Amino acid sequence: MTIIHRFTPLQRTLHWIMAVLILAMLFIGVGMASTVAHIYLRLVHIHETLGLAILILALIRLAVRLRYGAPALPLDLPEPIKLAAYLSHYALYALMIAMPLIGWAMLSAAQYPVVLWGVWLPRIVPQSASLHTALWNAHFYLGFLFFALILMHLAAALFHALIRRDGVFDSMASLSTHAEAAPAE
Amino acid sequence: MPEAPRAAPRALGSLVLIAAIVAFAAAAFAYTAGWFSPGRLTPQKLVDGFDLRSPPPLGHRRNHAKGICFTGVFESTGAGFELSRAQVFQQGRYPAIGRFNLATPDPDADDAKVRVRGLGLMISTPDGQQWRMAMIDAPFFPVATVQGFHDLQLASASTAPDAMANFVKAHPEFAAFGAWAKTAPWTGSYAEERFNSLDSFIFTNGAGQDHGVRWSLDPAAEPVAVAPGELAKRGPNFLETEIADRIKKGPARWTMLVTVANPGDQTSDPSKAWPDDRRKIEVGSLIVDRIEPEADGPCRDINFDPTVLPNGMRVSDDPFPPARSSAYRVSYDRRTAEEKDYPRTATGSAQ
């Protein structure tokens, strides 16, 4: 049986494209919410466009992940760290899918239109003050949680790359077009 | 293991590097969010600016807090279609929801005491698009910049005796507004007011041609000047009572006139009106045929954000519509979160 050491090229491509998009999304989110400058409207528009793009990519990525799986974590990784790795990845997938939907629903609950490429998207929930408030709070606090998780994810990736040097970083960062590789030794 | 003595410092160096990278990312995020920029003008500051003189009106809009809902139709002549391809300018009748209001953060203000009156309007078209606007009866805006507006908020709330004088010195454009406020006649009815977009927008027609525009709602009812002292005798809610009584007898009408900028006319400063000779196109009429209290009315849950525009209209370089959009959203976020202070029954919204 072949041991999988790397994510498939498709998974790696999706990961790095989405890394850029999601980071841009989070920075634009906190930036647009704190400015009255003329660029505000453009930032909102980019935020909404990226949101839909991330939602679509996240669903594709989830399907690809379910189909191809992921390389096993190193056997000598302590159990609590393994658990943290599993849980944080569940959380990242959940946020990638939930955040755009929460944002869209939040705008719907306030009767704000979402217009992408001249197309007025349908409302996905009815107008409601209390629903709007709940969704607004969720979008706000989960946004910061999302960024905190990404920082943890980044720290853990660098820990694997620089300190443990156990191949976990390479499983996503490698430029190789092969999903599987012979063991290093 | 001969490498061990060197591995420990290397690991320590890596840990420091990792911590530095994470700290840098977190700091960049905080910077973007404005946490290191106390001088940045945020929508929160603009909205807080209305609460400086009195506690915030919980559950209400933070400015233009007093208002009454109306419904009616926008009857399009079709003449606007040469300017914008928006469906609202194709000849026809389109449902309209709006709100007559007073420019005050006090929802219980005395109608005779508020100088500026406003009209929020949302016109919906069968293609699912909307045109929202928030207009006032002044012919131009008091200040030229968003920072100037915030400075006006601060000066108005300041207890320093020379605060207003210093403000006027720094914002000479305010003098024209001051003169208007002192000399323009007051009327006894929302139906006799002319409401103006003030801000400039860009209309794009089917051929892709852009035009800088402003627009006004010109009342069909003849304005009758009434002295403020006389209005004060009519009671604190005379404007709401009057418009409700008037419309029970028959609809009130306004003609919508779109003013087209000449090449070279500035679109970035709403404190300066364009010369009177600019081309005006009569694009339609607003016909208001029903008045409802705001509490359960169809306008209550609508944010009359002037940047909600159908395809064929967009903002210009005027700095106010984006600033208004961001501030209106903060106001909406706050008032909807204060539902318990303004109980909402099943929404009265038609949309």
User: What is the per-residue pLDDT across B153-175, written as a single tens digit (0 to 9) for each?
Assistant: 999 999 999 999 999 999 999 99
Number of compact structural domains in chain B: 1
Q: Would B349 be classed as within a structural domain?
A: no
Confidence of residue A4 (pLDDT cuts 50, 70, 90): confident
C-beta separation of B263 from B41 below 8 A: no
Strand partners, A52: none
CATH of residue B251: 2.40.180.10
Q: Domain-by-domain residue ranges, chain A? A: 9-173
pLDDT of residue B69 exceeding 80, the answer is: yes
pLDDT at B249: 97
Q: Give the ranges where B196-344 is alpha helix by DSSP (H).
A: 228-232, 238-249, 320-337
CA distance A16 to B265: 47
CA distance B332 to B120: 14
Q: Would B337 be classed as within a structural domain?
A: yes
pLDDT of residue B351 exceeding 60, the answer is: no
Torsion angle, alpha carbons of A114, A40, A103, B297, to 10? -70
Binary contact (B34, A110; C-beta < 8 A): no
Q: Would B209 be classed as within a structural domain?
A: yes
C-beta separation of B291 from B70 below 8 A: yes
For residue A180, the tally of other CB atoms under 10 A from its CB is: 12
Interface confidence (ipTM) of the complex:
0.92
Q: Phi, psi (5° rounding) for residue B66? A: -95, 125
> Which of B6, B10, B14, B40 is most worth mutating to test chain A (most A CB atoms within 10 A of its CB)?
B14
Binary contact (A27, B29; C-beta < 8 A): yes
Q: Report the pLDDT averaged over residues A81-107.
A: 97
Closest by CA position to B331, among listed B305, B312, B292, B298: B305
Q: Model-level pTM?
A: 0.93
Question: Measured between CB atoms, does B33 come within 8 Å of chain A?
Answer: yes
Binary contact (A41, B321; C-beta < 8 A): yes
Task: Write out the residue range of the structural domain in which residue B323 sits.
Answer: 61-138+184-341
Closest by CA position to B28, among listed A69, A147, A102: A147
pLDDT of residue A42 exceeding 60, the answer is: yes
pLDDT at B258: 98
Q: Would B37 be classed as within a structural domain?
A: no
A chain contacts of residue B26, beta-carbon cutoff 8 Å? 151
Q: Give the ranges where chain A is alpha helix by DSSP (H).
A: 9-32, 39-68, 79-109, 129-158, 168-173
pLDDT at B144: 97
Closest by CA position to B156, among listed B105, B223, B92, B203: B105
Q: B234-269, pLDDT tens digit by residue?
A: 999 999 999 999 999 999 999 999 999 999 999 999
Q: Report the pLDDT averaged over residues B35-62.
A: 95
Kindly write down the DSSP assignment for every residue of B75-127, as one continuous string.
Answer: EE-SGGGGT---GGGSSEEEEEEEEEEESSS-TT--GGG---EEEEEEEE-TT
CA distance B73 to B91: 13
Q: Would B284 be classed as within a structural domain?
A: yes
Residue type present at position B217: L
Mean pLDDT estimate for chain B: 95
Out of A31, A38, A163, the one facing B322 most closely (by C-beta) is A38
Question: Measured between CB atoms, does B43 come within 8 Å of chain A?
Answer: yes
CA distance B137 to B135: 7
pLDDT of residue B3 exceeding 90, the answer is: no
